[in-house]
Structure 1
């Protein structure tokens, strides 16, 4: 083992813990040939719906060395976001990942700090950090880094804490010691997520028809009318969906997040259905402008509420 690479690897993992990341795994930068074939097939089937951005930068998605010239290592970091409290019972549902501050900003800041600290202690190295919104196949890299496996619901699952975890990636030209890939699938014969999905978005072989997912309907789809076959099936979700994670047996191991910047916004937990319905655009910006809810915006949430109320009347 290269002693310099080993020392640098220990430093990466030490700094990541100090910054509040729960897990850190490292893989050699290489082309993701098998994942490229799966992605191409998924796109050709139209499972991405109107999310045309998924079609862009295909070559960058499958090869990190095209994102960071000279890249040698892909560092994958996980951060727990499981909340201590749930929303009140008489409320419209929000996905747990959106309870607190916008995780993109929170984690991107930490990635910059990690890279800066490595540059200060090691010297001139290059790197780029990515959180969710860049052309990186983050779950594939998490598996290659030994952190967990991709479940039937398409989420990365860890044996220690389940799946309520944000995934971040730091691609760097720093040579490191690489973790063994996660080789086993611990979903077994369990089909709880498939059985629980109201819109049948979870298909065989770990394929997700994103165009039928409740998260897609409530966030990505900008139309004012949902497909007729989906009407009434997402119940009271107005931003995202946690059904497939909530029923996953591995999430019985979820632990409450200790990250202060991901602490839930009180109003998200405490608002009643009536308060969501009466929320003004000005108040939305004041209360939730710094959270992931801004992706749907006030108008998007109000559209979702109107459609839910319409479906409740019709069914």
Structure 2
């Protein structure tokens, strides 16, 4: 793509561009912003290959597609030079009733895809308006990007034993998104691992999906069974779900670093009061019409009404 001079007609130092992008990310409500040089993720390549060879992706066959693009964003976004990783907090102020069927906290409010995509578009527009013509693409679970690996490489946290990105100050209840652009910037550095000898997540996982420290067998995860799996849930895991009807937060709930989680300040993530007030009986008696109304802009739409009913029946 043809480039033209920055709007102020002189070459802006990389440090100035970098600082501008990070300040804009903060203005837009992102929890933090880290930047890495776009290139091949050589450390992740053998891990991903091994994970796929062991069928830890279950029926998530899309994980096997675009192997080279997953590991190298320059093959995904032509001319890309920088991967901007961003975190957006979703930790709720209030949680569900204690005797209700449980859904992951990220699903309490509006579907994050809509919320984050709009913020990323605005961030890219700000970059283009201030710096000049910068080509880039925004990603929120929408393409083969190893978001946790890039966030860790950009110094936003470390990948914990439960395979989630964890930070010392705020834990792990946040979304990760990327903006991949064709502009050189100052790059951040990875931080050290602070899981130590803790095995809380491995010990607490209801289905023993964390098969080794830092290795999650996705095909054993409650989130996989209740969201990704399209056929009947295997009978052998009956009784192991601890009332989780959509997703699972157990490995995050028990993580000591999440005692530092603070409630988000994004209005669109505010918990739907109807969801928080639903009892088990309300869930069991929900009609398709009510489902469409309550979960109109919710991540629960992904499992569809029939999928939710399947999950609830399995929990009976």
Which of the five TM-score ranges fits, normalised by the shorter chain? over 0.9
Determine helix, strand or coil for the equivalent of 1:297: helix
2:114 matched residue in structure 1: 105
Deviation larger for 198-207 or 161-170: 198-207
**Structure 2 regions of 5+ residues with no counterpart?**
1-10
1:190 matched residue in structure 2: 198
- The CA distance in 1 between the partners of 2:21 and 2:180, in whole Å, is 12
Aligned with 2:298 (options 291, 294, 309): 291
- The CA distance in 2 between the partners of 1:268 and 1:203, in whole Å, is 32
- How many residues end up aligned between the 2 structures? 306
Aligned with 2:134 (options 125, 133, 136): 125
- The CA distance in 2 between the partners of 1:133 and 1:98, in whole Å, is 17
1:94 matched residue in structure 2: 103
1:31 matched residue in structure 2: 40
Matches within 5 A, 1:6-85: 6-85=15-94
- Normalising by structure 2, we get a TM-score of 0.95
1:282 matched residue in structure 2: 289
- The CA distance in 2 between the partners of 1:66 and 1:109, in whole Å, is 24
2:8 matched residue in structure 1: none
Aligned with 2:280 (options 273, 280, 285): 273
Aligned with 1:4 (options 5, 10, 13): 13
- The CA distance in 2 between the partners of 1:101 and 1:244, in whole Å, is 23
Which contiguous aligned blocks of 4+ residues in structure 1 show a shift greater than 4 angstroms? none
Aligned with 2:263 (options 237, 252, 256): 256
- The CA distance in 2 between the partners of 1:222 and 1:45, in whole Å, is 21
Kept in 1: contact 2:227–2:302 (CA 8 A)? yes
Deviation larger for 78-87 or 173-182: 173-182
CA RMSD in angstroms comes to: 1.0
Kept in 1: contact 2:103–2:245 (CA 8 A)? yes
Matches within 5 A, 1:238-253: 238-253=245-260
Deviation at 1:222, TM superposition (A): 1.1
Deviations 1:153-212 (A, max 9, x none): 010001110000100100000111001122x11000000000000111002241100000
Determine helix, strand or coil for the equivalent of 1:33: coil
Deviation at 1:3, TM superposition (A): 6.1
- Normalising by structure 1, we get a TM-score of 0.95
Is 1:174 the counterpart of 2:214? The answer is no
- The CA distance in 2 between the partners of 1:266 and 1:277, in whole Å, is 18
Determine helix, strand or coil for the equivalent of 1:168: strand
Deviation larger for 226-235 or 269-278: 226-235
1:161 matched residue in structure 2: 170
**Structure 1 regions of 5+ residues with no counterpart?**
310-315
